[in-house]
Amino acid sequence: MPESEEGYAAMPSSVRDVCVKFRGFYREAIMKERQRRTKILATLGPATDAPGVLDTLFKAGVNVVRLNFSHGDPSGQAKRAAEVRAAAARVGAEVGILADLPGPKIRIERFAEGKIKLTMGDRFDLVADANAPAGDQTQVGVSYLGLPQDVTAGDVLLLDDGLMQLQVTDVQGARIVTKVLNDGVLSDRKGLNKQGGGLSLGALTERDKELIGIVAKIGVDFIAVSFCRNAQDMHDARQIAQQHGCDAQLVSKIERTEAIENLVEIVEASDVVMVARGDLGVEIGDAELPGLQKKIIRESLAQNKVVITATQMLQSMVESPIPTRAEVLDVANAVIDGTDAVMLSAETAAGAYPVRAVEAMARICLGAEHQFEFDTDFEAAQRNLQRADQAIAMATMFLSEHIGLGGVVALTESGGTPRFLSRFRSNMPIYAFTRHDGARRQMAMMRGVFPISFDSRGLTPREAARAAIRLLVENERMGPGDRVVFTSGEHMETHGATNTLRLLEVGEDGRATGLGEL
């Protein structure tokens, strides 16, 4: 940036306006993200509600926050969303907001004494009746009244994330008779899964449908659909969101056995995919989980979709100031698998060390990125080319592999081209310039993409390229001799119109000079 106000005054007005907005406001956030490409989601909760915590979390590296609508009331989550927007503005960060719908989580009801202790071999009944009495040592109600129709003798039901196991011995109307398979304590409202899946409960409850309207008014950037079974669940959610005028991207949470069976169609119907390892691991078993994580990430990348890896990534940091070595390796392996983002749940929502958890996550991601060389499979990528902007993205990454680039500058309206660029895993930064707030916040989820506010209206493509690169040079993201690819549309301010690739080099004076155009 020019060091004096006179320097700004000498600029063309359109370029000056962009630079003035950029100066200082985005510098801290961009410099903080100088190297890390994997994005971090942090779940908000009581541990993040204290004044100043959000500012610190964003400075530590949070890119997207998660509002868990399974807990708290909508008004409280709306207040958190407003505080996120304010804190992001204060620190100059582009932070997306993800609303996580509760979905049809099956739970046992409450006990008269709050909890009971079960012994292996005991009989224990589950009662699918809205008027079931408070639970005791012999029985407890369940929230899903259709459960008796979904189970038969021999089925194993898993409670409290698998800590308590019950085997069905008989079904007597609304009463499911089970045998306790292990000793343990069972308390109020614990979750219930069927080993191997097979429950017929749909993904969207009436409460979820109401919440979509609420989060549309809040203005979230992502909506996560819990326990989706197939593509139709995602289509239904999208239709409801559109009815409310909501353009949030839809996240499919892969956490049911049925979702694995219908993985290809679910990914196709989603904008973002989440590897939700909690309930998924309970239903399919822990031994299958690592391979399925890799499969889900691989399928998401093959379909050019953004993918999140979630659940218990740094679980020990709920109480400990440092992660275990196993957790470090878990996060690093997700990065190496190619995930766009990693998510913190209780670690930030209710943990004792929310900021340290984010700092640890950022540190681990950065280390994994530096120690692993990505090998772009251009032959596989060619099979998915359908549009001109996808071809431009592939050509850009091909250039980066063969001539070396300091980065890519993508002028974008909706974030489509940066998304395609980021599907090619590399260590090259992608600077996505757009004037649309929502597009920048959605791009905050994409690996290797650094969204920057930039209004190109009134500029020719060449003027926009020079102004954008000048901003990066002045903010020490590029320097003399760096080669950069600039992508844009011949008709700027048009969605999906990227059709031009320019190869530029930064001169000694910080100006960009053309080397070629496609």
By annotation, the residues acting in catalysis are: 66, 107, 253, 311
- CA–CA separation, 507 and 512 (whole Å): 6
The torsion angles phi and psi of 53, rounded to 5 degrees, stand at -70, -40
Distance CA 500, CA 516 (A): 11
Q: Are 396 and 421 in contact (CB under 8 A)?
A: yes
Going by C-alpha positions, the residue among 413, 405, 450, 439 that lies closest to residue 36 is 450
Produce one character per residue of 20-46: b if its CB has 16 or more CB atoms within 10 Å, e if not: eebeeebbebbebbeebbbbbbbbbbe
Q: Could you tell me if 26 and 453 are in contact, meaning their C-beta atoms sit under 8 angstroms apart?
A: yes
- From CA 334, how far away is CA 425, in angstroms rounded? 13
Spell out a b/e string for 293-328, using b for 16 or more CB atoms within 10 Å of the CB, else e: bbbbbebbbbebbbbbbbbbbbbbbbebeebeeebb
Give which of 373, 391, 389, 372 is closest to 381, Cα–Cα: 391
Q: In this structure, how many other beta carbons lie within 10 angstroms of the beta carbon of residue 121?
A: 10
Which residues on neighbouring strands pair with residue 141, listed in sequence order? 127
Q: Are strands 156-159 and 249-254 parallel, antiparallel or unpaired?
A: unpaired
Least Cα distance to 475 among 450, 500, 493 occurs for 450
